[in-house]
Amino acid sequence: MKIAVYGKGGIGKSTTSCNISIALARRGEKVLQIGCDPKHDSTFTLTGFLIPTIIDTLQSKDYHYEDIWSEDVIHKGYGGVDCVEAGGPPAGAGCGGYVVGETVKLLKELNAFYEYDIILFDVLGDVVCGGFAAPLNYADYCIIITDNGFDALFAANRITSSIREKARTHPLRLAGLVGNRTSKRDLINKYVEACPMPVIEVLPLIEDIRVSRVKGKTLFEMVGSEPSLNYVCEYYLDIADQILSQPEGIVPKEIPDRELFSLLSDLYLNQGRHQHNKENLLGFTTI
């Protein structure tokens, strides 16, 4: 099974991806996580360091695939998860889609691409061009990471559009949304009401999720010294269980941009008016 994880930049895709990868490994699956971002830090919390990228390795070998071994590009991470970083072209030059294609090509040359039960692509930021959407060409499922904010849901809607386009040519499905570190879910609920899709899980506003990234450790590793965090790991194990159930998934249909803007901004405005009226009422009763 191949899964592509998308979402707005900075939403917590890599943190979520790493924890999902370990949760899948804990369920007995052989897992490979592929970071698809020029920052090449997707797997940092699994390995503890920035591993060499596929592109760097290919360049060092003058693009002679026959001179590259699996151990040059596949690194063992925490929990038995294998890790690869695709890397990326120099800023302002080249295409991220080409890099993903070269990564898959090399893994196939090494007979590694089909050795795993699960391959998880952790993809950079928003989908704004075909290159960034390239991992969807190889995926069975896409998972979108979001929060309860307008920007993240706007990005989710664009990703939804890309999934629909890619699903025309191969059996790609949206497994659903994962809400990350959000205290409320009213905007998420409003969005999925207008654009029906599954919500796999909504993780509450747990500061330790953010801290784990800073520490360079996954929640599963942190729980060894902080057993109180065990309940957080259960969220990721639940996501893993839903993935392993091989959900039917959907081919979503995005909402037009103007309609989405109106939908979510109206909710914001209504919340603001409700809060204003509440404050006035409290002020009146106090007097």
Instruction: Supply the residues annotated as catalytic.
Output: 8, 13, 39, 126
164 assigned ligand-binding residue: no
CA distance 219 to 230: 8
15 assigned ligand-binding residue: yes
Helix H or strand E encompassing 156: helix 150-166
CA distance 199 to 32: 24
39 assigned ligand-binding residue: yes
95 assigned ligand-binding residue: yes
233 assigned ligand-binding residue: no
12 assigned ligand-binding residue: yes
- Residue type (1 letter), 249: G
CA distance 158 to 89: 23
277 assigned ligand-binding residue: no
Strands (E), 51-125: 75-76, 82-85, 118-123
Strands (E), the chain: 2-7, 31-36, 75-76, 82-85, 118-123, 141-146, 173-179, 199-202
Residues 6 or more apart from 262 whose CB is under 8 A from it?
A: none
Binding residues for Mg(2+): 14
Binding residues: 10-15, 39, 95, 129, 180-181
Binding residues for ATP: 10-15, 39, 180-181
